[in-house]
């Protein structure tokens, strides 16, 4: 492993540890609850990235698994809602707060599904961390699109390109008109752009525009993370707000680079005008981190 590879995989390990214990609805303590959204689709509030679920008379599908403890609580709660077996677990991407509970789900789920790049990054991160034994990897992967039908609901996972990582998928419940964004949506948090795992800010902007254009004003979006005040569900306006945040970050960085500012000077910027509502609960989620990735992307041309 050369130095660049080492830094990349080490960054993935640090990221996974930090996200693993980030509570969903705030960072002061663990909150566990179920919330119904529409037509048998809802969310589980636990510790880590938001879990989405579909429960109907014909089966159950889960999106993301948080960590072992939260996954166990989710399984117990789903069991109280239905006696059906859990058919499928979909991972939106490979980060530890989204796949850390896979092994807990493994004995009770029929199949685990993820984008092919997500599966690849999960294996690399586990190898670097030396925790392969605690992983449950996808049974099925896809390149562009995966779909299934459970009762009268059609579930579609689509890959729109590199954004938060190079392996994020967006999961749509077509009849319910609910869309799980995974960590392609940080609601009023400074987002984590995992450059070591193929992320691109310019690509992330395009993904948000594509997803918004593919759905309607009535669509309910589920977000990977959100501040306690902003929450983890919302609408197209929230997607547009994050898109505009990234656009402003790129424009600020481009302008400062043209003025001869160094990377260190640019990443020292304390606020992004117009987006003061974005907060940083810990160092990994910071404006500095976003501007550093913006600088690196623009330096590449």
Question: Residues in the chain, how many?
Answer: 301
Cα–Cα distance list, 126 to 20, 99, 131, 169, 248 (Å): 14, 11, 5, 20, 35
Strands 178-180 and 220-222: parallel
**How far is Cα 216 from Cα 279, in angstroms, rounded to an integer?**
28
| Per-residue pLDDT at 199 | 98
| Per-residue pLDDT at 24 | 39
Q: What is the pLDDT of residues 187-201, one digit of tens each?
A: 999 999 999 999 999
Sequence spans of domains, the chain: 3-300
Cα–Cα distance list, 27 to 43, 228, 271, 279 (Å): 18, 9, 21, 12
Question: Would residue 19 be called left, alpha or beta, if left means φ above 0 and alpha means ψ between -120 and 50 degrees?
Answer: alpha
Q: Which residues of the chain have pLDDT under 70?
A: 1-31
| Per-residue pLDDT at 31 | 62
| Per-residue pLDDT at 9 | 38
| Per-residue pLDDT at 266 | 98
| Per-residue pLDDT at 5 | 37
| Residues 177/38, Cβ–Cβ less than 8 Å | yes
**How far is Cα 204 from Cα 286, in angstroms, rounded to an integer?**
17
| Per-residue pLDDT at 16 | 44
Model's pTM, two decimal places? 0.91
Architecture per CATH, 3-300: 4-Layer Sandwich (3.60)
**How far is Cα 170 from Cα 187, in angstroms, rounded to an integer?**
16
Q: What is the pLDDT of residues 59-74, one digit of tens each?
A: 999 999 999 989 999 9
| Per-residue pLDDT at 30 | 53
């Amino acid at each position: 492993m050369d130095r660049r590879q080492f830094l990349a995989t080490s960054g993935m390990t640090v990221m996974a540890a930090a996200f693993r214990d980030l509570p969903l609805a705030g960072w002061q303590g663990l909150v566990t609850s179920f919330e119904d959204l529409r037509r048998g689709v809802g969310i589980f509030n636990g510790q880590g990235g938001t879990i989405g679920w579909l429960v109907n008379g014909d089966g159950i599908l889960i999106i993301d698994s948080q960590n072992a403890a939260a996954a166990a609580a989710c399984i117990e709660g789903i069991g109280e809602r239905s006696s059906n077996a859990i058919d499928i677990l979909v991972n939106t991407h490979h980060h530890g707060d989204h796949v850390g509970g896979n092994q807990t789900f493994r004995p009770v789920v029929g199949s685990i599904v993820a984008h092919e790049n997500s599966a690849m990054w999960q294996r690399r991160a586990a190898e670097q961390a030396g925790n392969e034994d605690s992983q449950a990897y996808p049974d099925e992967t896809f390149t562009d699109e995966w779909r299934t039908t459970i009762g009268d609901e059609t579930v579609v996972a689509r890959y729109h390109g590199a954004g938060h990582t190079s392996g994020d998928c967006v999961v749509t419940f077509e009849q319910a008109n609910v869309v799980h964004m995974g960590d392609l949506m940080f609601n009023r948090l400074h987002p984590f752009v995992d450059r070591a795992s193929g992320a691109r800010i310019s690509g992330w902007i395009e993904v948000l525009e594509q997803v918004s254009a593919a759905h309607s004003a009535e669509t309910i979006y589920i977000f990977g993370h959100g501040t306690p005040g902003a929450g983890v569900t919302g609408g197209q306006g929230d997607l547009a707000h994050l898109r505009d945040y990234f656009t402003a970050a790129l424009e600020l960085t481009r302008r400062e680079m043209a003025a001869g500012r160094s990377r260190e000077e640019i990443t020292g910027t304390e606020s992004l005008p117009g987006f003061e509502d974005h907060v940083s609960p810990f160092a990994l989620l910071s404006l500095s981190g976003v501007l550093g990735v913006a600088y690196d992307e623009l330096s590449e041309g």
